[in-house]
Amino acid sequence: MSNDPTAPLLFFDSGIGGLSVLNEVRRALPNAPLVYAADYAGLPYGTKSEAEIMARVPALLGRLVERYRPRLVTIACNTACTIALSHVRAALDVPVVGTVPAIKPAAESTRTGVIGLLGTAATIRQSYVDRLQMAHAPGMNLLRHAAPELVHAAEAKLRAEAVDPRVYTDAMRGLTNHPDGDHLDVTVLGCTHFPLVQEELSIAAPNMRFVDGAAGIARRICHLTDGQSWPNEPTDGVFVTTGPVAELESLRPALATFGLTQIKAL
C-alpha cells in the first residue's frame, strides 16, 4: 500500500498500444501520476520468440521499477503478458496487473457463438488463449488471426501518417474467411495497439462488435489502489523509451493528449 501520493502508476508496452489502457485509467483516476514505458528497441514483440520476451520483459521492468518507484505496474501488452506475466510478478515487489485477450466479455455478448480474436502471432498461438477459451467460451467457435500490420497502423496513426485502409479490411477478412466466419459477430482486439484503430476496423466491418480489456484493467487498478493517496490535481506524465528519443518527435502531439508531456530515454 503506497502512502506517497506522488508514486506513479507504471504502464509498459512494446510501443504505444498501452495508451488504450492508460486512457481508461486516466478517466477513472484523473490525478494519478503516470509513467508510460515503450520498448521501442524491442518492437515488435509479436515476431519474437517466447525465450526472448521471457528474458527481456522482467529485466526491463526491474530497471523501470528501480528508477520510478511505482505503486503498481501494468503490463499493457497482451504478448508480453501471455508469455512473461508470472516471471515479472516473481521478480518485482510491487503489484503487477496484466492484460489478457477479452474472451470472457466476448463470450458473454455473442449471439451466434462465433468469436474472432485479432492479435499478434505470438499471442494467438499461446496455450494461455486455449485455457481462456475453455474457461469462458466452452463450446463456442474462436476464430484467430494474426494481424501484425495493425500494430504498425496504430503507430502510424498516432504519428499522423497515412495508412492504407486495405490494412483494416484485410485484417477483418483474415477472420471472416475462416469456415463459419460468416457467423462472426464479436471480435476481441487481443493487442493493446488495436483499440487505437477500432474506428477504422469498424468502417471495414460495420456490423461487428469489438471488445478489449482496457475497462476491466482500469477497474482492477482502481480496486488495487483503493484508499491510497493521490495528488490534488493532475501532474505531467512521463513517456520513457528504450529507443532514441529523437524518433518520438512526431508522436509528441498525440502523447500530450494522453497527458504524457515529458519524453525520456531509459
Closest CA to 24 of 259, 205, 252, 266: 259
Concerning whether 222 is annotated as a catalytic residue, the answer is no
Assess if CATH 3.40.50.300 describes domain 9-99+215-265: no
Amino acid at 40: Y
Domain residue limits, the chain: 9-99+215-265, 103-212
The per-residue pLDDT for range 115-168, each reduced to its tens digit, is: 999 998 888 988 889 999 999 999 999 999 999 999 999 999 999 999 999 999
Q: Say if residue 262 is exposed, middle or buried (CB neighbours under 10 Å; 0-12, 13-18, 19+).
A: exposed
Distance from the Cα of residue 80 to its chain's centroid: 9
At 229 the three-state DSSP class reads coil
The per-residue pLDDT for range 69-117, each reduced to its tens digit, is: 999 999 999 889 988 999 999 999 999 999 989 999 999 999 999 999 9
Q: Find the catalytic residue in 21, 75, 77, 211.
A: 77
Q: Find the catalytic residue in 53, 64, 97, 191.
A: 191
Instruction: Assign 45 a pLDDT band (cuts: 50, 70, 90).
Output: confident
Closest CA to 194 of 21, 66, 24, 33: 21
Instruction: Assign 252 a pLDDT band (cuts: 50, 70, 90).
Output: very high
Amino acid at 24: E
- Cα–Cα distance list, 54 to 37, 63, 206 (Å): 17, 15, 38
The per-residue pLDDT for range 178-219, each reduced to its tens digit, is: 999 999 999 999 999 999 999 999 999 999 999 999 999 999
What secondary structure does DSSP assign to 163-203, as a single string? --THHHHHHHHHHHTSTTGGG--EEEE-STTGGGGHHHHHH
Instruction: Assign 2 a pLDDT band (cuts: 50, 70, 90).
Output: low
Identical fold between 9-99+215-265 and 103-212: yes
Q: What's the topology of domain 103-212? A: Rossmann fold (3.40.50)
Concerning whether 191 is annotated as a catalytic residue, the answer is yes
Cell readout for 146 is: 494474426
